[in-house]
C-alpha cells in the first residue's frame, strides 16, 4: 500500500510518519516545500521525498505524478505564517488544497484524508460539545477559520462531482507534542516571550474569560486517527479532542499561576496592537477564534474509527510547555531549532520580525 503525505515534515506529518512506519507493507511518500536532509533520521528516513510548493502554478500536475499509484493521500499542508502576508497564506492554504484535490482526481487516488480543524466551525457553545453536524462555515474574523471553511467547501464539491472518491475530514482540537515546542513558539509566540520560564512549571498570570475554553489532543493521538482513516473505509468528518477541556482556571491551578479577568475587546485589542507592532506573530483573528470555536464531541471517531486518545489534554499541554522551554524540535525544516528562523531572536539580527518572512 502506497500512502502519500502532503505536508509530511510538520507537527502532524512527523507524528503520522512515526505511526505509519510501524505498518507492514506500507510504502510512504512525503511532499513538502523544504525537505528533510539525508541525515535527518527517524521518522524522515525510509520515505520517498518530493519537493513541491502546493500553492504555485503547476502544482496539480506535479502532484498528480507523485500521487500515481497511491492508495491514499493525506493532506496536511497548511501555512500559518507569515501572518502579515495574507495573500501568500491564502494561495498556499486554499489554492494549494485545490491543487491537491485536482491531483487526487487526475491520479485516480481512491481516498483523500484532509486535515481540517475545530477552526472550521461557526461560533458555537462553550458549555456542551457539538457533533460534526455543526455548521462548518468558520469564524468570520479569523482568516485561518475562513480558509478552513473554504477548503471544506472545495471538498463538498469534489464529493458531489466524484462520488467514487472517499473523503475524510479530521477536525482536531489544538495539536500538542514536545517536539513541536520550538515550531509552535515561533508561529504563535514570537521571540520576546520568555518560554524558558516554563521549565519551572509555572505561568504567573493566566488571562481568563468565560469563553476561553479550548480543547487539545496529543499529536500522536491525532496521527492514530489519521492512520485508522487511511487504513480503513471511513468517510466524512470526525472531531478529535481529549479531556479535560482546557480552561484558564485549570491551567492556572496546574501551573501555579493567578487568573486575571480580561474583557474580550481588551484581548482582541492587545493582540492587534502587538501584532501591528511586530512584537508577536498572531493577529486578533486568533483571539476571535479562541473565543468562538465550539467544544467538540469525539463520539463519532470513537464509534466508527475505534479511536480514543491515549494522552489527556493536560498532559499534552505539559509536554508542549516542556518542549517550548527546552527547545524541543526535530531535524525537519519547519520543526527546526535554528536560531535565525523567523520567530526566533536570531532572526531579528537579519531584520526578519515575527509574522514576516518566508519560508517559515
- The whole-number pLDDT of residue 264 equals 97
Alpha-carbon torsion (220, 155, 8, 185), positive or negative = negative
3-class state of residue 302 by DSSP: helix
- The whole-number pLDDT of residue 350 equals 79
- The whole-number pLDDT of residue 347 equals 87
132 vs 194, residue with greater confidence = 132
Give the residue-averaged pLDDT of 333-356.
89
What are the backbone angles phi and psi of residue 120, rounded to the nearest 5°?
A: -75, -15
- The whole-number pLDDT of residue 278 equals 94
Give the residue-averaged pLDDT of 144-154.
98
Looking at every residue in the chain, the average pLDDT score rounds to: 96
Q: Is the pLDDT of residue 345 over 90?
A: no
Give the residue-averaged pLDDT of 319-340.
96
Q: Is the pLDDT of residue 351 over 80?
A: no
Tell if the pTM clears 0.95, that is, is over it: yes
- The whole-number pLDDT of residue 346 equals 87
Residue 253's nearest CA partner among 208, 286, 219 is 208
Residue 241's nearest CA partner among 329, 168, 314 is 314
- The whole-number pLDDT of residue 333 equals 96
Q: What is the CA 171 to chain-centroid distance, rounded?
A: 10
3-class state of residue 111 by DSSP: strand
Q: Map out the domains of the chain with their CATH numbers.
A: 2-174+217-242 (3.40.50.720), 177-215+246-293+311-346 (no CATH)
Each residue of 290-303: pLDDT tens digit? 999 999 999 999 99
CB 238 within 8 A of CB 169: yes
Long-range contacts of 119-125 (CB under 8 A, 24+ apart): 119/144, 119/145, 119/148, 119/289, 119/293, 120/145, 120/148, 120/149, 120/152, 120/171, 121/171, 121/293, 121/294, 121/296, 123/292, 123/293, 123/294, 124/292, 124/293, 124/294, 124/295, 125/294, 125/295
Each residue of 100-131: pLDDT tens digit? 999 999 999 999 999 999 999 999 999 999 99
Q: Is the pLDDT of residue 33 over 90?
A: yes
HSE toward the beta carbon, residue 171, CA cutoff 13 A: 31
Give the residue-averaged pLDDT of 169-186.
97
- The whole-number pLDDT of residue 357 equals 84
Beta pairing partners, 5: 30, 74
Q: Is the pLDDT of residue 352 over 90?
A: no
Each residue of 183-241: pLDDT tens digit? 999 999 999 999 988 988 899 999 999 999 999 999 999 999 999 999 999 999 999 99
CB 350 within 8 A of CB 340: yes
Read off the DSSP letter of residue 129: -
Q: Is the pLDDT of residue 360 over 80?
A: yes
Length of the chain in terms of residues written: 360
> In sequence order, which residues have a C-beta less than 8 Å from that of residue 181 and are 6 or more positions away?
195, 320, 321, 322, 323, 324, 325, 326, 327, 328, 329
Beta pairing partners, 167: 112
Residue 164's nearest CA partner among 227, 107, 99, 105 is 105
Q: How far, in Å, CA of 7 to CA of 113, rounded?
A: 12
Amino acid at each position: 500500500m502506497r500512502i502519500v503525505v502532503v505536508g509530511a515534515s510538520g507537527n502532524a506529518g512527523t507524528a503520522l510518519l512515526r505511526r505509519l512506519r510501524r505498518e507492514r507493507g506500507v510504502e510512504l511518500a512525503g511532499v513538502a516545500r523544504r525537505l528533510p536532509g539525508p541525515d535527518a533520521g527517524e521518522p524522515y528516513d525510509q520515505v520517498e521525498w518530493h519537493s513541491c510548493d502546493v500553492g504555485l502554478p503547476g502544482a496539480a500536475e506535479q502532484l498528480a505524478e507523485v500521487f500515481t499509484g497511491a492508495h491514499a493521500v493525506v493532506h496536511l499542508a497548511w501555512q500559518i505564517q507569515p501572518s502579515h502576508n495574507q495573500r501568500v497564506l491564502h494561495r498556499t492554504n486554499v489554492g494549494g488544497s485545490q491543487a491537491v484535490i485536482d491531483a487526487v482526481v487526475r491520479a485516480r487516488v481512491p481516498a483523500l484524508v484532509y486535515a481540517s480543524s475545530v477552526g472550521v466551525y461557526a461560533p458555537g457553545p462553550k458549555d456542551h460539545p457539538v457533533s460534526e453536524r455543526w455548521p462548518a462555515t468558520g469564524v468570520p474574523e479569523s482568516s485561518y477559520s475562513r480558509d478552513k471553511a473554504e477548503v471544506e467547501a472545495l471538498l463538498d464539491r469534489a464529493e458531489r462531482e466524484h462520488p467514487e472518491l472517499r473523503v475524510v475530514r479530521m477536525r482536531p482540537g489544538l495539536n500538542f507534542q514536545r517536539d513541536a515546542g520550538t515550531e509552535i513558539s515561533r508561529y504563535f509566540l514570537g521571540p520576546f516571550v520568555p518560554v524558558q520560564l516554563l521549565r519551572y512549571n509555572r505561568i504567573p498570570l493566566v488571562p481568563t474569560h468565560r469563553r476561553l475554553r479550548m480543547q487539545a489532543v496529543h499529536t500522536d493521538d491525532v496521527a492514530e486517527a489519521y492512520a485508522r482513516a487511511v487504513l480503513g473505509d471511513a468517510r466524512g468528518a470526525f472531531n478529535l479532542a481529549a479531556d479535560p477541556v482546557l480552561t484558564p482556571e485549570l491551567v492556572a491551578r496546574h501551573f501555579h499561576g493567578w487568573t486575571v479577568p480580561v474583557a474580550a475587546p481588551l484581548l482582541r485589542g492587545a493582540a492587534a496592537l502587538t501584532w501591528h507592532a511586530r512584537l508577536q506573530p498572531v493577529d486578533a483573528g486568533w483571539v476571535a477564534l479562541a473565543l468562538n470555536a465550539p467544544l467538540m464531541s469525539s463520539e463519532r471517531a470513537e464509534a466508527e474509527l475505534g479511536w480514543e486518545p491515549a494522552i489527556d489534554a493536560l498532559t499534552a499541554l505539559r509536554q508542549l510547555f516542556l518542549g517550548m522551554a527546552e527547545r524541543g524540535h526535530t531535524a525537519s525544516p519547519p520543526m527546526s531549532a535554528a536560531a535565525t528562523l523567523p520567530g526566533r531572536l536570531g532572526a531579528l539580527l537579519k531584520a526578519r520580525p515575527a509574522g514576516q518572512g518566508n519560508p517559515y
